[in-house]
Amino acid sequence: MSMNQTPMSERVHIGFFGKRNAGKSSVMNAVTGQELAVVSEVKGTTTDPVYKSMELLPLGPVVMMDTPGIDDGGELGNLRVKKSYQVLNKTDAAVLVIDGAVGTSEEDRALLDRIRKKNIPFVVAINKKELADKDAEKSAKEELSLDDSQIAFVSAATGEGIYELKEQIAAIAATEEPEKYLVRDLLEPSDIVVLVVPIDSAAPKGRLILPQQQTIRDILEADAVSVVVKETELKTTLEQFRKRPKMVITDSQVFAQVSEDTPEDILLTSFSILMARYKGNLEQAVRGVTALDRLEDGDTVLISEGCTHHRQCDDIGTVKIPGWIREYTGGKEIRIETTSGTEFPDDLTKYKLIIHCGGCMLNEREMKYRLSCAADQGVPMTNYGIMIAYVKGILKRSVEVFPEIYKVL
């Protein structure tokens, strides 16, 4: 997969934050060498977060994020500030831009405190060097308790210090993490894996969804063989193989039918379960799903999706899962709330269970943020595929491929 094809969820997310007219957009444009964001002397030009996928050397594929000013006011301004703080939840490296001609402010200090509490690597960029007092950098270092690696004195207008800032960003954003796999580590060369992909009204026209694409690529990386079928063709397809397939991986919506058509000696799991393992929350999700057994009349369940899409009449998040919950709980009056995209409540205490999508469109930091929010507030959290497998009575079989998770059940 080339850098330009790297999914947004797999890219390093770099966020630019600061007060209005501090020069956030100008600094971001200077760092990238492109006019990614609109620049104006009018305060509040950036009214919504701006995301741009690109290639930034020496880091590689990144998402650059420009944000509204953290000092905006009024009802609408407060909403913009809230949006800026939400962007922190997906930020892998933060650049706090401060107007060097004005100096640090209470808003700057509060934001930096939030960045530190979230353990986000950061650089403070003192902008407008050409207008700043000669002691501006020293003052900022003392006021914000910064070391030399955490501060840059730059001018977006003249380009001075931008190269050094770019190098600092690369240094804090480049992290060496163990390589993760969706399914590759479970396969041997020449293993056959059958992928079950329904083609219905919810399926994107002319393409496969991201987890399906990523799984196919991971199978190829293992030198294994992937065969893609619709659920209606699975049974006859399995009967045609001379060599027994190693595994069947299915879309969660047809879990029950696929389980029935897949012999017990073939491993079975779902794209959603593989994605939960990839994101690092499989065990939490398996433990969380048992909260379904404790739901009572009047309880509220949050169904949350990481992306936004056009709702279909049989939409999984707003129609199918609520129906399965009612069926599983014997018709109890369970209240359902839904969120999508970047919206995720800060206060989760009113929910008895959170059922999240696989999170393929969320980067790892944001997914971990949502999981930790739930854990910190004592709210069980699971995902679509695990919930569906549980209510259909096939979860234990679906995680058999992961012995450490299987023993939890």
Return the number of other C-beta atoms located less than 10 Å from residue 25's C-beta. 24
Q: Per-residue pLDDT tens for 61-103?
A: 899 999 988 888 777 778 888 888 888 988 999 999 999 999 9
> Where are the chain's structural domains?
3-173, 184-275, 279-391
**How far is residue 385 from each of residues 73, 173, 269, measured CA to CA in Å?**
42, 32, 9
Q: What fold does the segment set 184-275 form as a domain? A: Rossmann fold (3.40.50)
Q: List Cα–Cα distances, 111 to 25, 71, 118, 152, in angstroms.
A: 17, 10, 11, 17
- Cα–Cα distance, 338 to 317 (Å, whole number): 8
Confidence of residue 343 (pLDDT cuts 50, 70, 90): confident
* Measured distance CA(42)–CA(241) in Å, rounded: 67
- Number of neighbours of residue 336 by Cβ within 10 angstroms: 15
- 279-391 and 3-173 share a CATH fold: yes
Average pLDDT value over all residues in the chain: 88
CA distance 14 to 287: 33
The domain defined by 3-173 folds into Rossmann fold (3.40.50)
User: At CA 281, angle to CA 122 and CA 266, rounded to 5?
Assistant: 140
Q: What is the pLDDT of residues 234-275, one digit of tens each?
A: 999 999 999 999 999 999 889 999 999 999 999 999 999 999
For residue 1, name the pLDDT band (cuts at 50, 70, 90): very low
Question: Residue 352 in 3-state DSSP?
Answer: strand
How open is the CA angle 148-153-159, to the nearest 5 degrees? Answer: 135
Q: What's the mean pLDDT in 145-159?
A: 93
Instruction: Look at residue 325 and give its three-state secondary structure.
Output: helix
Is there a cis peptide before residue 58, judged by omega within 30 degrees of 0?
yes
The whole model's pTM is what? 0.74
The C-alpha atoms of residue 100 and residue 138 are separated, in whole angstroms, by: 11
Condensed to tens digits (0 to 9), the pLDDT of residues 278-293 reads 888 899 999 999 999 9
Q: How many CA atoms lie within 13 A of 295 on its CB side?
A: 29
E strand segments, 116-160: 122-127, 151-153
Please name the fold of domain 279-391. Answer: Rossmann fold (3.40.50)
The whole-number pLDDT of residue 199 equals 85
What distances in angstroms separate CA 57 from CA 28, 63, 80, 123, one per listed residue? 14, 12, 30, 17
Q: What per-residue confidence (pLDDT) applies to 28?
A: 93
